């Protein structure tokens, strides 16, 4: 991992915020000394966590690991069928069918048409140092969509299967003893699922 150029911003009230820029934008970090070798490992684990979250949703699975509810009719379209005796006839097409016709999965995978991009693309690391990484939905409009979908069907947070994968990955990146510590602290355990849900409600 290349050592980033850290920019420290000083506010009028004396607060300091340290940031650096990655390929997706600004990321906050510590104003103190950071061991970027360790930060690279933390980043690797956090990015794997983001990948698991996206894979989980793409499979139509909620944060508890069970399938999310089927799509309802809302959001569908009235499609022109034919003109009979000079009168146009239409057929209502449900949202699931509409998605299928447009090359998308006809399931609740939180991926659909969007002029401003897709909500899941805005899940990224927004804080990183050599001890922790924070994962967030960094665009306000996407956080609003995320919270609306969370109320319909809980999806934000790792499922039990994803947590097992995170524990396995952490044991590959860190010594096993460190992975055990992370699990016992709730950073890569079941507690993280509940904590991530609280975080989403706080930022939305």
Read off the pLDDT of residues 127-166 as tens digits, 9 standing for 90 and up.
Answer: 999 989 999 998 888 898 889 889 988 999 999 999 989 8
Q: Which parts of the chain sit beneath pLDDT 70?
A: 1, 73-84, 88-98, 100, 102, 106, 112-117, 175-204
What pLDDT, on a 0 to 100 scale, did the predictor assign at position 133? 93
What pLDDT, on a 0 to 100 scale, did the predictor assign at position 77? 56
What pLDDT, on a 0 to 100 scale, did the predictor assign at position 203? 43
What pLDDT, on a 0 to 100 scale, did the predictor assign at position 84? 65
Task: Kindly tell me the sign of the dihedral angle through the C-alpha atoms of 136, 137, 138, 143.
Answer: negative
User: Buried b vs exposed e over 72-108: b needs ≥16 C-beta within 10 Å?
Assistant: eeeebeeeeeeeeeeeeeeeebbbbbbbeeeeeebbb
* Residue given tokens 């508890």 in the structure block: 64
CA angle, 98 as apex, 121 and 86 as ends, to 5°?
145
Q: How many of the other CB atoms lie within 10 Å of CB of 9?
A: 10
Q: How far out from the chain centre does Cα 16 lie?
A: 28
What pLDDT, on a 0 to 100 scale, did the predictor assign at position 128? 94
Q: Domain extents for the chain?
A: 32-70+116-203, 71-106
Phi/psi at 169 (5° precision): -65, -40
Confidence (pTM): 0.72
What pLDDT, on a 0 to 100 scale, did the predictor assign at position 168? 86
């Amino acid at each position: 991992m290349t050592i980033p150029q850290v920019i420290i911003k000083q506010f009028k009230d004396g607060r300091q915020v340290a940031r650096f820029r990655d390929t997706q934008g600004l990321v906050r970090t510590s104003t103190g000394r950071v061991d970027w070798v360790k930060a690279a490992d933390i980043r690797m684990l956090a990015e794997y966590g983001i990948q698991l979250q996206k894979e989980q949703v793409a499979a139509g699975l909620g944060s508890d690991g069970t399938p999310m509810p089927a799509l309802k009719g809302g959001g569908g379209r009235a499609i022109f069928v034919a003109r009979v005796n000079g009168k146009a006839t239409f057929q209502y097409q449900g949202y699931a069918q509409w998605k299928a016709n447009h090359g998308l999965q006809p399931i609740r995978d939180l991926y659909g048409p969007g002029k401003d991009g897709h909500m899941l693309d805005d899940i990224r690391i927004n804080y990183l140092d050599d001890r922790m990484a924070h994962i967030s939905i960094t665009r306000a409009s996407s956080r609003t969509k995320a919270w609306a979908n969370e109320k319909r069907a809980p999806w934000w947070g790792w499922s039990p299967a994803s947590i097992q994968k995170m524990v396995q990955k952490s044991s590959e990146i860190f010594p096993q003893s460190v992975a055990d510590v992370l699990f016992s602290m709730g950073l890569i355990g079941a507690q993280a699922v509940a904590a991530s849900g609280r975080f989403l409600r706080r930022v939305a």
